Structure 1
């Protein structure tokens, strides 16, 4: 009976739908494990298909091709360590989220996910059947239990595995980021090792997929509950973990250990990785955006430059007669600091032409937000024309505060393919800008170090500059008040009375609530953006567009 067991952890970044590409990554990890003398190489949940697949996995030709890819991988990796890899499985008329063990040229075991998450961004009840809870599989004489992701958030599956002889728990995951989630994961897994007395490996994937970013942070626990291995967040890495048989059972030896950065850095890293992967996985190489001289477009330009390099970012200033000299200077300063291309495209002549075209129909009416929104929509038209002509994806720049209350023009400044700051409230945007000015991480930031967002951009009163002397505070409560109310109404689903009890005026709360509900149709048509919280707009919060209910408490 062997007294040592080497496990290779492949914290890697799959691409949804790229079956052959994902298989190639698994094969490369297996080769590395073989060279290192590993007994088993483990890849995350649903790795062969990428995650999350949403309804794509239900398409028969797709899940059949994924299963065939796994079976081919078993044959190709016959002479060496075993492999654990996630993928779909069909049994009878049921489709399952499965974890395959490949060894000696065949599939030697298959674990089916039992608990299917059906909350926040997860719809697994829609996609899969519940698998039966089964016992451990054996690799080179070691009995390993593999509760798949959600299965380890409940005590029953791990308890059953321990009772049926498991000696090590291996938890393959596709767990997406939200702020401070690592502590939640760690607390759940500590509970499992305390309950079972077994060492546990929590293996997570990395990479962006639409609105979700998988942040890695793989760790290994011994029964005392403290990590002995901790891999970095957001980085694709392969790490080897050695287990030794002791008189108390198998124990993991100390291995690679990386301290994780604070929440501010993780938020910023998340939005950078989200955009980088969204570009790479959809085939775009370059982006453009309207650079107004305001804080939101400044941080989006910085995120883009950090994600794909300044040479691949086009910043466009589209001034009107309401654009201040300060905005012109600030926009140019941002583009220059980043090293991005900077184009200057005035909208005066285009706006005059539209005004003249509409004049017979608008005769006798008073100018209002209609004329203001024409400016925004004209900018959207010009930016989309550049996008079409040069194949550059347009980024939109609305923060979560604006997205929440509809302080944006549909088919205008909402135009674009991706919004990196969609889940950042305005007050958080200010904090992120200050953080980025003070910090540079050359290993994952492609833009220069130093002050990318001038102090004036951060300190001046926010304004859309669609009319003379306009300020955001003319239409909205000041951002600390607005964001505080939105945090309660959106992120905590609080009542109007809860908000008033927290110190906000009824007038402000009801005004924000009204704007929140009537803006649902805009959010329904808005660009995707990275999820940073547990209540991001899209899959986390699904409200009807036509909705007459209001909280009159």
Structure 2
């Protein structure tokens, strides 16, 4: 069968815009002789629609879009259109909505199939909105029997460590006689996931001796980035076609062709992270109505990386970098920031904060009652910078990007309403050690980021001769422990058994836990690891354990 895979970038809630993307494809599909156009999961709404699904007016809007798509299909009578959308169950009990795939042809809905496995782990909340179907059926279409599934339905494979469920919808479709498997997906990116998806498609194809078509969404929606990387395997698991990462792509594939078992190569990890952040920022800004960004450029590695990513995502002329030297800032930090901004072609301003901080301290002096200086005075500097950046954001309509990394966010080495201020925390899921990897990747074709920034010891420059190492373990140790605690869920004893100092481990875990209140107030961040702070990690604040 000739199948057109449409790896597209929807906007959540924009049923009209998402429908237009489909309608624009129909003439090309007809010209190529395609028999079936396949869109990603919930494409009409964009994924994830979240509580929009609880709005009756929104569901009616979806239904009107599907009616228009059905009408438009009459102009292309030989083409089937397989599209993901929510569908009312018609039942009085339950959530009242299915996560569905609808097969439309020549003005009619030939079949509707519904997602069986509704994930509730990590960033997923599907059991909150959807009901599972009572049965799984195949769909005869042209000369094939289609086994249609939706995203998670393919993720029940104990042999690959996917043991969340005791039921395999793909196996049931094979038993029902499917001759071609098609999976509509909206699978968000994190490092290592692309290769796992390929192994899933290959496994199902080879196990059941049927071709497997996998169609994934691409684009950024809030914290989530979807990398696409749609693919088709032949009945032996050989790769027929692999679509690119992080970009829209429409390709017509002949599922009868033979693939190659040796042709798959995953994207380089740090390249994928870089591209995910660029696409995530570009779509977050664009879909929220921003075309310009403002960044506090400190002269350190984190803000340098964020500035480079912003220039790539939005264009250098749409980025304003602001250096805000304070009483303990080095001249080199300002100079390095200026060099970076000039190399990038970004706008650059210097707004000193020493006078602002002095005014704060004079106003607070009667209340502070001659108490010794401590972190309060340091945080005042960070908050002065945050206020200045927010003022620029308000005045000129720029999106403020905060520059804290995952290591700092984990242990609260950041200031509420200071350097945490912003509309998007771009690298909040990037450990400090990976920030350096990103910097080296950015510099792969030349020295965009000055060597002085790459080589200087990290410092917040909020007190004389301050270094991050004064307050934190070495980042190599901190990031390794955070990986074991946050991502693998190990206890302090289990982590210590891996060779880490127990007191250091206990301090890290204790500090992570007591800073939940800070992270709850942080700007949303782009998820790139398997366990990010935010919607995928839901810890209580007022807690004792």
TM score, norm. by length of structure 1: 0.93
Match of 1:95 among 81, 94, 97: 97
Contact kept? 2:100, 2:113, Cα under 8 Å: yes
Instruction: Name the SS of the counterpart of 1:13 in structure 2.
Output: coil
Aligned pairs for 1:88-487 within 5 A: 88-93=86-91, 94-154=96-156, 156-244=168-256, 251=257, 260-439=266-445, 450-487=446-483
Following superposition, the deviation at residue 529 of structure 1 comes to 1.2
Contact kept? 1:71, 1:107, Cα under 8 Å: no
Structure 1 residues 252 and 100: alpha-carbon distance in aligned structure 2, compared to 1, 3 A threshold: farther
> What is the CA deviation profile of residues 276-301 of structure 1, one whole-angstrom value per residue up to 9, with x for unaligned ones?
00011111010001000000000000
Match of 1:32 among 28, 34, 39: 28
Contact kept? 2:296, 2:323, Cα under 8 Å: yes
Match of 2:509 among 501, 504, 513: 513
Following superposition, the deviation at residue 243 of structure 1 comes to 3.3
Instruction: Name the SS of the counterpart of 1:394 in structure 2.
Output: strand
Instruction: Tell me, in whole angstroms, the C-alpha distance in 2 between the residues paired with 1:253 and 1:494.
Output: 41
Instruction: Tell me, in whole angstroms, the C-alpha distance in 2 between the residues paired with 1:270 and 1:544.
Output: 29
Task: Give 2:498's aligned residue.
Answer: 502
Instruction: Tell me, in whole angstroms, the C-alpha distance in 1 between the residues paired with 2:313 and 2:265.
Output: 23
Following superposition, the deviation at residue 253 of structure 1 comes to 6.6
Following superposition, the deviation at residue 140 of structure 1 comes to 2.4
Instruction: Tell me, in whole angstroms, the C-alpha distance in 1 between the residues paired with 2:471 and 2:376.
Output: 15
Task: Give 1:542's aligned residue.
Answer: 538
Following superposition, the deviation at residue 30 of structure 1 comes to 2.1
Instruction: Name the SS of the counterpart of 1:306 in structure 2.
Output: helix
> What is the CA deviation profile of residues 41-98 of structure 1, one whole-angstrom value per residue up to 9, with x for unaligned ones?
1100000000011121121111121122112111012122110000000022421100
Task: Give 1:79's aligned residue.
Answer: 75
> What is the CA deviation profile of residues 479-533 of structure 1, one whole-angstrom value per residue up to 9, with x for unaligned ones?
1111111111111111111221122112211111121011100100101111111
Contact kept? 1:15, 1:49, Cα under 8 Å: yes
Instruction: Tell me, in whole angstroms, the C-alpha distance in 1 between the residues paired with 2:443 and 2:234.
Output: 40
Aligned pairs for 1:58-69 within 5 A: 58-69=54-65
Instruction: Tell me, in whole angstroms, the C-alpha distance in 2 between the residues paired with 1:6 and 1:203.
Output: 14
Following superposition, the deviation at residue 138 of structure 1 comes to 2.8
Aligned pairs for 1:5-24 within 5 A: 5-24=1-20
Following superposition, the deviation at residue 258 of structure 1 comes to 8.4
Following superposition, the deviation at residue 194 of structure 1 comes to 2.5
Instruction: Tell me, in whole angstroms, the C-alpha distance in 2 between the residues paired with 1:124 and 1:30.
Output: 31
Contact kept? 2:86, 2:98, Cα under 8 Å: yes
Instruction: Name the SS of the counterpart of 1:56 in structure 2.
Output: helix
Contact kept? 1:30, 1:83, Cα under 8 Å: no
Instruction: Name the SS of the counterpart of 2:110 in structure 1.
Output: strand
Instruction: Tell me, in whole angstroms, the C-alpha distance in 1 between the residues paired with 2:278 and 2:439.
Output: 13
Instruction: Tell me, in whole angstroms, the C-alpha distance in 1 between the residues paired with 2:259 and 2:278.
Output: 34
Q: Which runs of 5+ in 1 are unaligned?
A: 245-250, 440-449
> What is the CA deviation profile of residues 111-154 of structure 1, one whole-angstrom value per residue up to 9, with x for unaligned ones?
11111111111110111001133322233232211111111123
TM score, norm. by length of structure 2: 0.95
Contact kept? 2:123, 2:535, Cα under 8 Å: yes
Task: Give 1:442's aligned residue.
Answer: none
Contact kept? 1:135, 1:166, Cα under 8 Å: no
The runs of 4+ residues in structure 1 deviating greater than 4 Å are 251-254, 257-260
Q: Which runs of 5+ in 2 are unaligned?
A: 158-167
Task: Give 1:447's aligned residue.
Answer: none
Instruction: Tell me, in whole angstroms, the C-alpha distance in 1 between the residues paired with 2:483 and 2:176.
Output: 46
Following superposition, the deviation at residue 189 of structure 1 comes to 2.0
Following superposition, the deviation at residue 351 of structure 1 comes to 1.2
Corresponding residue pairs, total: 528
Instruction: Tell me, in whole angstroms, the C-alpha distance in 1 between the residues paired with 2:259 and 2:201.
Output: 18
Contact kept? 1:133, 1:157, Cα under 8 Å: no
Instruction: Tell me, in whole angstroms, the C-alpha distance in 1 between the residues paired with 2:238 and 2:442.
Output: 32
Deviates more, 1:406-415 or 1:357-366: 357-366
Instruction: Tell me, in whole angstroms, the C-alpha distance in 2 between the residues paired with 1:239 and 1:6.
Output: 10
Instruction: Name the SS of the counterpart of 1:408 in structure 2.
Output: coil
Instruction: Tell me, in whole angstroms, the C-alpha distance in 1 between the residues paired with 2:255 and 2:259.
Output: 6
Instruction: Tell me, in whole angstroms, the C-alpha distance in 2 between the residues paired with 1:158 and 1:406.
Output: 44
State the Cα RMSD in Å.
1.5
Instruction: Name the SS of the counterpart of 1:241 in structure 2.
Output: strand
Instruction: Name the SS of the counterpart of 1:145 in structure 2.
Output: strand
